[in-house]
Amino acid sequence: MRRILISILARVKGNVNANGTVAALTEIKKFFTTDGETRVYVSGRCVKYCIKQRLREKGFSLSPLARTEERGQRVLLPEGNPIKNIDDDLFGYLIPAEERKRFAPIKTDGIVALKHCEITKDFAGRFDPSGKEDASPFEIEVADFIGQNNWILNENIGKFVYQRIRRERREIETEIKQSMIEEAWDSGINLNETDLGDGIKEYSLPPDERKKRLKSFLEVLLKERYTFPRSATCLYQPHYYYAVILPTERLLPLFAHIDYEVKNEKVVPNPDKIEDLGSLLIDGEKITIVDFEHVLDEEVKLRIENYKNGIEELENKLKSANDEELRKKIEEEKQELEHRIKTLQAIEIVSPYKIDNVINKITDYLVGV
């Protein structure tokens, strides 16, 4: 299965996704590591909600939430119609009473701080303009952190599976219903049908519609951004530093190799971890980094130059080395530096003004040219 792995380094300030209110304190979402560090985060649900609102502005239909008698009337549930609603298509759904679900072709874990984060409290109050009533003080936890926003996209955008299964005394329909298929055909949507055998059929939207949905999502995520639903210190969007993108048919540990360090007051990805990731790639896999800070290109060139100087020094040592064990060790060190140079040279560093080219490449890779 074709996948796109995306990891974004982003800065978030304020309290954009509150965890709840205790007395007069609005808490920020956070967790504690085994090392005793405090990590602040923005939930994946919050990020997806923000992106959904931007997709609505672009004219797409979102799944209405409702309580219905046939679904138990307990909780708000989506319509579960990925043919009609872009959020049902991209982010999936689960409707327990119907035993019907869609595995999301686009997944995220939100924005999670990569390092320990100090939390402060913003004190405020609500005051009666007439001065007759006492003020109502309150506090909001706020933080300023650099987090990692990970995404996994696969090729199933705009593709849906239909199967009718007999369960005890009733039949259930998986993922989509026959009535949704018929409604789509009646409305002029040309669904492509593929018989997968064993009573399973795959339906897909026209390629142009699939591309439109994916491209619109990527434009919001990488180009236009989104606004968080709440703010304690400012009306805030995430500030992007870098977006690391890897097309692959495998599941590689990209996210574990993303970290940052500060050099000359600039945030840069940890180059050692990026190089380690490069050692896992095979032919046809290539890392693309969108550099929103305009500093990474020079950093990579400097690192390559240092490696070349290191190879030159090793070659000089090799000429004077007489011990076979020492020569072998020097050769291994030289090969490692050569491999690191090759890895860095294979990374494509893209400026933000070329982000449309990146979006088009991702779209063509997942949906097809």
> Would you say residue 189 lies in a domain?
no
> Would you say residue 232 lies in a domain?
yes
> Would you say residue 199 lies in a domain?
no
- 308-334: pLDDT as tens digits: 999 998 888 888 877 888 888 888 999
> Would you say residue 73 lies in a domain?
yes
Long-range contacts of 52-56 (CB under 8 A, 24+ apart): 52/87, 52/91, 53/226, 54/220, 54/224, 54/226, 55/86, 55/87, 55/216, 55/217, 55/220
Residue 346 identity? A
- 218-254: pLDDT as tens digits: 999 999 999 887 765 566 789 999 999 999 999 899 9
CA angle, residues 9, 11, 16, in degrees to nearest 5: 125
Q: What is the pLDDT of residue 325?
A: 84
> Would you say residue 75 lies in a domain?
yes
**How many Å apart are CA 347 and CA 271, to the nearest integer?**
11
Global pTM reads 0.90
Q: What is the pLDDT of residue 131?
A: 74
Q: Nearest-CA neighbor of 246 among 346, 110, 340?
A: 346
> Would you say residue 187 lies in a domain?
no
Range of the domain at 257: 3-129+136-158+205-294+351-367
> Would you say residue 33 lies in a domain?
yes
Do residues 292 and 268 make contact, with C-beta atoms less than 8 angstroms apart? no
Output 17 or 51, whichever has higher pLDDT: 51
In the chain, the number of structural domains is: 1
> Would you say residue 318 lies in a domain?
no
Long-range contacts of 311-319 (CB under 8 A, 24+ apart): 311/337, 311/338, 311/341
**Mean predicted lDDT score pLDDT of the chain:** 89
- 35-54: pLDDT as tens digits: 999 999 999 999 999 999 99
Q: Which of 97-106, 173-182, 208-217 is predicted most confidently?
A: 208-217
